[in-house]
Structure 1
């Protein structure tokens, strides 16, 4: 009997002790929540849309993009589906930082030549999600050299080059753009939009004019991936997919192998048409222009008698 009473006393003593610790535990949780709220509130992004969550949209394309994360206060990568979504989406990491992080100043690392390395040169090795075996090269920021790695065939990041020379040219030993020359050697060298015919008119300085290629931001809202040709990919599966043909303005069916390929790849014809507007064609000089059907001109035939 005495043993049973001691056992009950010990049980109730334990219960009382645990109940006494509950208020302290709840206070600790509330303090932690307050600290988290104050931490989130300490940084106000430059624009309201920077506080939106990443939205990949309803389409099924795979476009590498960036968004500002309010909880980590950093710009992070995500995969965009290709249509709709929200404004918290950027084509480059640098654009995201400049738009959403207050007081951000570009801290690009310069090589010995003085040329800047792109931001993606500092990304870590990423073989992607597929299981292919492709020899690629990446820039290792620790060794300051381009090194070989195995790429799976899809996704990954932009620190991924097909040849060693390409990696070295862009990330290991970036070079300045060519400086102007002092002699006229080709008739297609132009300055101020006019062909150079007299050296004295341009002070013996001519600049070769590169072809006018539309910048990426000029395509914003026009879906540039819709101009890419159908790409079946690298694997051996056979999936029915649809791609947009910019010449015909229609979505056509093709077989997708399951990995690799490009962003002009949709699971249904409806999503293809929804992502890529009809009536767009590729124009070498003006990028993308809308076309309209025109009625054939009326031709009047006149017959004359021959005497």
Structure 2
């Protein structure tokens, strides 16, 4: 895990708009499993995993700071991770650097019952999804946005989440 530079914004004087001072500090980024390590998302490296179930049902929270950081939150209704703008401070634990980290933390086996959703965007990212008609994980091309939780980065991860025997 590599430290990442982060900025904190503090008020100077009476905290009027425009009187902000940016301080850079180093902090550790949340760990995301490598393709070899990944699986059912049983990683407890995030400071928020202690309250995983509760935090994954929280709405996205930009926080009061004025930054504009792209982050992901888990939308429990759609069972997908979606982008939002994070201001850089406060907020809540439903806040992830990557879609992959978000899915590994919040996705449940219920995602395996969702239809395979390529999404409307034009990327062609190779992913795996559980096809309930065939009862197995299949490869498909994800468009990069507005999919759902039934997309996995590896066949192994798909099989572990969806209960498909390996081997």
Q: Which has the higher strand share?
A: 2
Q: Same fold (TM over 0.5)?
A: no
Q: Which has the higher contact order (CA 8 A, sep 6+)?
A: 2
TM-score, normalising length: structure 2: 0.42
Higher Rg:
1
Q: Which has the higher helix share?
A: 1
TM-score, normalising length: structure 1: 0.25
